[in-house]
């Protein structure tokens, strides 16, 4: 990433843009001004450059990552809504990251078949649609039913495209403070990763017996001790311990 010239652009000469000028250009862009659009894109290439630096060790050339990041930048420009009152960079960074991550998954040496990727993306799209319709996070069974697929197939596809990263990894430096992924999370209760974890737990819990499910719920969701659980369901603490271990071992096959 030490190159000064990326995709024919001298990165040392990339311009900076003020928030005020950014909003002025955005209003012109919404009105169809192509010159303003070109100026805005060029003025935000530093943003693309700062984002792709976090992917420097993925084995891809900076030129390729930069071009993919520019695609994400253009998508962000096309979809940005000034009425939300947020900085463009706050909206654009996750969009650019998403575009680069999709590129890396599609070109990964760990090959995931096109059909599995398509299934996963369809599942994520269906999940978003059901959130709007139901006003809550949909169950895996509801998504699978809408897609006419088995729950196992949907879960396998979602797991295959997972690309975990640290939420505290810096991805962009705005003026003085570094911006981490965690700073871009809009809602901690509806994030895609949290939803996937919830789906996996629900799927694992569904494979337990009613007694085991009850014990796991009391121990790990209600915070009860083994003695408290034993007293409540009328068995010994040793039995609770054995059932708990068996239930956790069973869940590990699915979670």
pLDDT of residue 103 exceeding 80, the answer is yes
Q: What is the DSSP string of 19-68?
A: HHHHHHHHHHHHTT-HHHHHHHHHHTHHHHHHHHGGGGGGS--HHHHHHH
pLDDT of residue 102 exceeding 50, the answer is yes
Provide the strand spans (E) within the chain. Answer: 5-6, 9-10, 170-174, 177-180
Residues 6+ apart with CB under 8 A from 45: 9, 11, 14, 70, 73
- Give me the mean pLDDT over the 72-92 stretch: 84
pLDDT tens, position by position, 191-229: 555 566 666 778 788 888 888 989 988 888 888 888 888
pLDDT of residue 23 exceeding 50, the answer is yes
Between 102-111, 133-142, 172-181, the lowest mean confidence (pLDDT) is in: 172-181
CATH topology of domain 207-251: Arc Repressor Mutant, subunit A (1.10.10)
Using left for φ > 0, alpha for ψ between -120 and 50, and beta otherwise, residue 226 falls in alpha
- Give me the mean pLDDT over the 58-77 stretch: 86
Matching CATH number, 5-106, of 1.20.140.10, 1.20.120.1810, 3.40.50.300, 3.30.2290.10: 1.20.120.1810
Matching CATH number, 114-187, of 3.20.20.80, 3.40.640.10, 3.40.50.2000, 1.10.10.10: 1.10.10.10
How far CA 136 is from CA of 27, 150, 193, 203, 251, in Å, comes to 34, 22, 16, 18, 25
| pLDDT band with cut points at 50, 70 and 90 for residue 186 | low
CA dist., res. 14 & res. 46, Å (int): 6
CA dist., res. 209 & res. 17, Å (int): 60
Mean pLDDT of the chain: 79
pLDDT score for 108:
62
The 8-class DSSP code of residue 167 comes to T
């Amino acid at each position: 990433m030490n190159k000064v010239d990326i995709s024919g652009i001298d990165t040392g000469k990339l311009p900076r843009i003020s928030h005020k000028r950014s909003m002025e250009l955005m209003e012109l862009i919404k009105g169809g001004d192509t010159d303003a659009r070109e100026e805005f894109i060029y003025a935000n290439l530093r943003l693309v450059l700062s984002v792709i630096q976090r992917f420097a060790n993925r084995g891809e050339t900076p030129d390729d990552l930069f071009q993919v990041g520019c695609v994400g930048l253009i998508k962000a420009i096309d979809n940005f809504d000034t009425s939300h009152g947020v900085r463009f960079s706050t909206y654009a960074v996750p969009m650019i990251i998403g575009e680069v991550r999709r590129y890396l998954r599609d070109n990964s040496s760990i090959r995931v078949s096109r059909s599995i990727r398509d299934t996963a993306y369809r599942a994520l799209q269906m999940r978003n649609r059901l959130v709007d319709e139901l006003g809550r996070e949909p169950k895996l069974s509801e998504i699978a039913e809408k897609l006419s697929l088995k729950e196992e197939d949907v879960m396998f596809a979602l797991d295959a495209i997972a690309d975990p990263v640290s939420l505290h990894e810096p991805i962009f430096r705005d003026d003085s403070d570094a911006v981490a992924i965690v700073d871009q999370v809009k809602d901690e209760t509806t994030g895609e990763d949290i939803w996937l974890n919830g789906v996996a737990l629900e799927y694992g819990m569904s494979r337990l017996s009613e007694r085991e499910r009850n014990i796991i719920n009391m121990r790990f969701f209600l915070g009860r001790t083994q003695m408290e659980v034993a007293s409540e369901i009328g068995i010994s603490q040793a039995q609770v311990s054995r059932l708990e271990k068996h239930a956790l071992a069973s869940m590990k096959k699915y979670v």
